[in-house]
Structure 1
């Protein structure tokens, strides 16, 4: 029985190895060093989604692969969200809640010829630039930032996937969904709503704390830095194949 199984499995293994070997170098390996730049939409979630609107995010990352399956990733990103409407009826336009993140972590990778999937987890620090004015939502609850309690910086976490396609052997286009959130609830604000009483001016205040949490959906370009692949071989740009 064992001999029969070997007789069945061995040809398949041999064919798979042959197919992998027959692929050109840039379809078998990945560049060791890469620089990625992207732009996308930031959609607030959780408690932060109650007081913020959709915004934009721009990022840059440096990735170093020890092998074609694991590496290190370093990232810088700036994200901003539109806030709710300002409390003053004739006041200035809403400002933005923005943050700048510097993170580092690990990534895992899997290649399928011209396609590559990266999964990454990074942690670091987020520097906050929040709206100094009072602001309110477009529903019955009003929100007012407590400036003295809101922190200027916070720990942050960045988890995501990156779906890459090799447009050329040194250039990838990609789409990346990811979760980005601060840790420790650095944003502190009051919510106020009118009491159900004979005096409609009575208000009840509730103190709330929140992380700045966003789902990011970005598109970007990833460039190989240098010609070295993860197996130590060098890219040959003289070949006609992309």
Structure 2
């Protein structure tokens, strides 16, 4: 009888210890420790041209749509499309008021794919991403002339150069995304990014001037480079997470 009492006491002690351990170290809910397997992203923001592109372009807007497949909670593969536009802006901000200036905007449509690296802490998630692909351009016809373009004698200061422009080129983009889980299946985010073409697809002729003389026409080719500052929303397309577990929407 004494042995039976000791055995029951031992079993009770083990059960109590296991229950206490469970209470001290509960397992976090899946939506706080994993990333949804399939995600769709929609973002909108401003574009600010950089480098030589900033000589002939001004700020504009961009919109993008991405799909990301999470291989695990740290690595994802993303594919996306993006539309960017920049207003035409003449190189010299002090152009004469008599100059004739067109205003056809630059647009870029791109398709790109690449890796995304993520770090998650509770409801917060940081993404670092890089993508490469191809971009397509509208090559707008712009010009700036000194004087009335109807006159027989005008001085062409700037003109687009179709012969040295390209309709498409290689393209890269990358940046950071600061995400917050608004709901288990929805994140909102802010994302600073940088994008640029490769191969100098935009061509133009420019005639510079100083206080006394005009320089000869100079042919230049440049890349379309933009800083982007976007806000957006990321939506889980299914309840499956990168670990293979499924979201339980009945949890608190």
TM range (shorter): 0.7 to 0.9
Tell me the equivalent position of 1:169: 184
Measured at CA, do residues 238 and 92 of structure 1 come closer, stay the same or move farther in structure 2, by a change above 3 Å? Answer: farther
Alignment partner of 1:191 out of 172, 197, 206: 206
Give the distance between the partners of 1:135 and 1:232, measured in 2 at CA.
60
Structure 1 position 85, deviation (Å): 5.1
Q: Please say if residues 44 and 61 of structure 2, whose CA atoms lie closer than 8 Å, have aligned partners that are also in contact.
A: yes
SS at match of 1:194: coil
Q: Please say if residues 40 and 68 of structure 2, whose CA atoms lie closer than 8 Å, have aligned partners that are also in contact.
A: yes
Structure 1 position 143, deviation (Å): 3.0
Tell me the equivalent position of 2:28: 23
Structure 1 position 193, deviation (Å): 2.1
Which has the larger displacement, 142-151 or 162-171?
142-151
Give the distance between the partners of 1:125 and 1:192, measured in 2 at CA.
31
Structure 1 position 93, deviation (Å): 5.4
Q: Root-mean-square deviation (CA), in Å? A: 2.4
Alignment of 1:1-242 (within 5 A): 22-84=27-89, 94-135=103-144, 142-194=157-209, 202-239=214-251, 241=252
Give the distance between the partners of 1:135 and 1:41, measured in 2 at CA.
26
Structure 1 position 142, deviation (Å): 3.9
TM-score (norm. length: structure 2): 0.79
SS at match of 1:80: strand
Q: Please say if residues 191 and 230 of structure 2, whose CA atoms lie closer than 8 Å, have aligned partners that are also in contact.
A: yes
Measured at CA, do residues 90 and 48 of structure 1 come closer, stay the same or move farther in structure 2, by a change above 3 Å? Answer: closer
Larger Rg: 2
Structure 1 position 133, deviation (Å): 2.6
In structure 1, runs of 5+ residues without a counterpart are 1-14
Structure 1 position 89, deviation (Å): 5.3
Q: Please say if residues 141 and 159 of structure 2, whose CA atoms lie closer than 8 Å, have aligned partners that are also in contact.
A: no
Q: Please say if residues 30 and 246 of structure 2, whose CA atoms lie closer than 8 Å, have aligned partners that are also in contact.
A: no
Q: Please say if residues 55 and 90 of structure 2, whose CA atoms lie closer than 8 Å, have aligned partners that are also in contact.
A: no
In structure 2, runs of 5+ residues without a counterpart are 1-20, 146-155
Q: Please say if residues 135 and 142 of structure 1, whose CA atoms lie closer than 8 Å, have aligned partners that are also in contact.
A: yes
Give the distance between the partners of 1:113 and 1:142, measured in 2 at CA.
57
Number of equivalenced pairs: 216
Q: Please say if residues 102 and 142 of structure 2, whose CA atoms lie closer than 8 Å, have aligned partners that are also in contact.
A: no
